[in-house]
Structure 1
Amino acid sequence: MGDRIVLIGPMGCGKSTIGRLLAARLRCRFLDSDAIIVRQTGVDIPTIFAIEGESGFRAREHKVLVELSQSDERFVLATGGGAVLLPENRPLLRSIGEVIHLDISIDEQLKRIRHDRNRPLLQVDDLPTRLAELAQARAPLYREVAHWRVFSDGLRADQVLNRILRHRRERARSPSGSTPRR
């Protein structure tokens, strides 16, 4: 499990940014499940949602996770915010590697993604309400899937990276090889 890390969390929490930094530090490949889907289909995610709906996108996402679970490669994977929604994805994510939940408040999320037009689920008039609805539905699933959590409000990317690396060092030194969820 230590050879692969899976980052989960809400949109805008920094999965891609932290994932790239972490992969560089661990000298392994960085993968983004959304980017893989875009590369496979040749169209952007809003187009997939427009043509196939969310269920079509989730089916594609599941297929990518299955393929990655069968890989022998070392990598850090950034998932889409809804990767935890399909029940079959939750154990699959844990089987891929160590799952880290990058968490942020809705206020922080608003600051980061307010003007992002590449997120189909956020094309609504009342963005704070929509983010609260998504958080209410997804937060328990993130907690269920994650091996541990990093709350990153007010932290720079390098600070989040250092927390992750420190946690991994502590876990490696502990007799059982695990530390409690944070």
Structure 2
Amino acid sequence: MKIVLVGYMGSGKSTLGKLLAKKLKISFLDLDEVIEEGLEDSIPNIFMGKGEIFFRKKEHEYLNNVLSKKNNFILSTGGGTPCYSGNMETMLTLADHVFYLKVSIPGLVKRLLLEKEHRPLIKNIEDEDLPEFIGKHLFERNNFYLKANHIIDCDDKDPESLVAEIEQLLA
């Protein structure tokens, strides 16, 4: 079974993906890590050195590669992955399930304020400007996210209950 998790940064894709993979006894893959291993460089370095267009092309290649070859896994994608190069259509075609982990703007702000230093995209944004930044991004990305097979509302739910909710949809 191929399961893909999409959603904005901080929505819990990696956390839930790892928990779900453990529960289902299948492997967990993080697309950003797959790209970093393949290109032998970090995502921020790739963005700075070769630019976003290069990164998005490579992201598309690696996504296709993972979805075409591997079997039985949970794949966590980058927040922007579904929005470029027809990636959402690729996921919907090649994966068995695509889940959008939906978190409200206030929910994302609350989560991301705690990890701002580790998030290059928002590191230099003033705390009071974060809701507007996230809102604008979500507005741009929502049409892609909403194409997922399943939409999971993640606000005010702990990871274990979200994993249980996903498991029920897989049964």
Q: TM-score, normalised by structure 2?
A: 0.90
Sequence identity, in percent? 33
The within-5 A match list for 1:12-161 is 12-97=10-95, 98-114=97-113, 115-123=115-123, 124-125=125-126, 126-144=129-147, 146-161=148-163
Give the SS at the match of 1:81: coil
Counterparts of 2:118 and 2:47 in 1: how far apart (Å)?
11
Give the SS at the match of 1:120: coil
Q: CA RMSD in A?
A: 1.4
State whether structure 2 residue 9 is matched by structure 1 residue 7: no
Deviations along 1:86-143, one digit per CA (max 9) or x if unpaired, are 1421211112311011010111111212233343332433222111111000011111
How many residue pairs were aligned?
166
* 1:165 to partner: Cα distance: 0.8
Higher helix share: 2
CA contact under 8 A between 2:27 and 2:72: conserved in structure 1? yes
126-135 or 52-61, which moves further after superposition? 52-61
Gaps of 5+ in 2: none
Give the SS at the match of 2:146: helix
Residue equivalent to 1:174? none
Deviations along 1:34-69, one digit per CA (max 9) or x if unpaired, are 111121222222211111222222112111111012
Counterparts of 1:57 and 1:63 in 2: how far apart (Å)?
10
Q: 1:54 to 1:122 in 2, by over 3 A?
A: farther
The code of the aligned residue for 1:91 comes to: E
CA contact under 8 A between 1:46 and 1:119: conserved in structure 2? no
The code of the aligned residue for 2:105 comes to: I
Gaps of 5+ in 1: 170-182
